[in-house]
Amino acid sequence: MIESMRAHGYSLPTAIADLIDNSVAADASNVWLRFEWSGDESWISLSDDGQGMTEEELVNAMRLGSRSPLDQRDKNDLGRFGLGLKTASFSQARRLTVVTRQEASQTHLRRWDLDHLARPDVEGWQLLRSLHPGSPEQASALDESIPSGTLVLLEVLDRVVGGTSDRDKDREDHFLWQIEQVRQHLAMVFHRFLSKRKPRIYLNEEEIQPWDPFLEAHKATQSIGPYDRRLGANEVPVRAMGFVLPHRDRFESAEEHRAAGGPSGWNAQQGFYVYRNERLIIAGDWLQLRWQKEEHFKLARIRIDIPNSMDHEWQIDVKKSTAIPPAVLRAWLIGIAQNVRKSAKEVYAHRGKYGARKKKNSADHTRPWIALKTSDGEFSYRIDRKHVVLEPLIGSLSESGKAELEALLRLIEETVPVQRIWIDAAENQDGAALPFSNTPGNDMRKLILLCHKAQVQYRGVPDEEAWGFLADCDAFQGTEAQAILGQLREEPL
């Protein structure tokens, strides 16, 4: 039975997160994770300063299915099936030791050893009372300075250090890579706890910092909502909150933009984020409602908060990694998602400037490209001849010059590599380079002066109004371009 339970489908990050759920439920202020590489003798320990357990509670915690999933839980309990400690541990290791102590009480220890249970001379379910002779002492003792707490020791990590490579260096590199995956996963799953610093989680003595999927602290993030529902006779609350994340242009650096994309990248992280008691269950998924993940909706993220009393309705699994919304909420969630997706698409298409400076019913000529839809539903892209920069420049040409320029513009329009752009955008999480991002400052200065001259001399636009037009143009939204615009605006003509 235990060997079969090892196939629950945990990854190392999801298994560690499941173990930390117990520390959160025990009201721990600190959780210490330690990963130690030693080839086949490698081990992982997790200790906390939570409430600890009595000997009877420890034995019950080590029992498979220690509580019925139908039992009413404390509102802050992150468990459900009474399996998490065992299934998460067995998914990665063949030896599980738990040491625990309550305040002003003695220390208790129990151990499951799958290799021991597999011996032909062993009968029944032998839950051992002692540490394995080969276990490292430094990994199996609770810190005496902590009045109460629990330590979980995972050994014989066949699912972690195993593999097809015989080279120790390859196996060690894979072990180290998995540690980084654990760090990123915990930063995301427990980010709401970490932001309140309760508990603090340390990985090999380095404190894990929270990763907020919604970038609520960023000034360019848009919030949509909240939306509230109450379900059933008990009026169980469900809350949804939509977020449209900033366009890439609004980030200070490529590294900041990359970090905001999350562990799986911008495209993969779009969608719903389902939280159960503030613990993340689903991280970026459209919940089988009606959509696939697409490039132009990658800025859309929606937070859903549910209590643990709705586990059955949401079909939460043992690993706490899948959820399916109940039928009564599907139309409500679809409506919310449509609003958020619409706003996200507008921000994506307009480089984060959608509607920012337009007056009602006024034309918007700050973008030189126009998207046209044919009667067959196909799209084509045309250069706006009425653009605030192009129109006066075109008007200054002779008739023959206008005809030649028109032919050139049509050639450009008919050969826009739309398919190639889509492929490149999908494959490159950082997106396209910003306009004029690699243009020398002197060249940028000359171009801006030429555009300003076109406004003032050929269109008769007042000087300050012309600067305002240029400041709104998509082409000049880069940090350097805005700085040059500001300098030129202050200089005498």
pLDDT of residue 320: 66
Comparing CA positions, the residue from 410, 392, 361, 389 lying closest to residue 469 is 389
* CATH classification (class only), 222-349: alpha beta
Q: Could you give the CA distance from residue 480 to residue 440 in angstroms, rounded to a whole number?
A: 10
The arrangement of strands across the sheet holding 222-231 comes to 222-231, 236-244, 300-306, 271-276, 279-285
The arrangement of strands across the sheet holding 43-48 comes to 107-113, 95-101, 149-155, 43-48, 30-36, 200-203, 206-207
Each of the 493 residues of the chain gets a pLDDT tens digit; together they read: 778 878 777 899 999 999 999 999 999 999 999 999 999 999 999 999 999 999 999 999 999 865 555 555 555 555 443 577 999 999 999 999 999 999 988 999 999 999 999 999 988 889 999 999 989 887 778 888 899 999 999 999 998 997 666 788 899 999 999 999 999 999 999 999 999 999 999 999 999 999 999 999 999 999 999 999 998 878 889 999 999 999 888 888 888 999 999 998 999 999 999 999 999 999 999 998 889 998 889 999 999 999 988 888 888 876 666 788 999 999 999 999 999 999 999 888 776 554 444 443 344 556 788 888 877 777 788 998 888 778 888 888 899 999 999 999 999 989 988 888 877 776 765 566 767 777 888 888 888 888 888 888 877 888 888 888 788 777 787 778 888 888 888 876 6
* CATH classification (class only), 2-207: alpha beta
Domain with CATH 3.30.565.10 in the chain: 2-207
Domain with CATH 3.30.230 in the chain: 222-349
**Which residues neighbour 164 within 8 Å (Cβ) at sequence distance 6 or greater?**
none
Comparing CA positions, the residue from 105, 49, 56, 51 lying closest to residue 76 is 51
Cα end-to-end span (Å), the chain: 84
Under 8 Å between Cβ of 223 and 243: yes
Under 8 Å between Cβ of 131 and 111: yes
Three-state SS at 258: helix
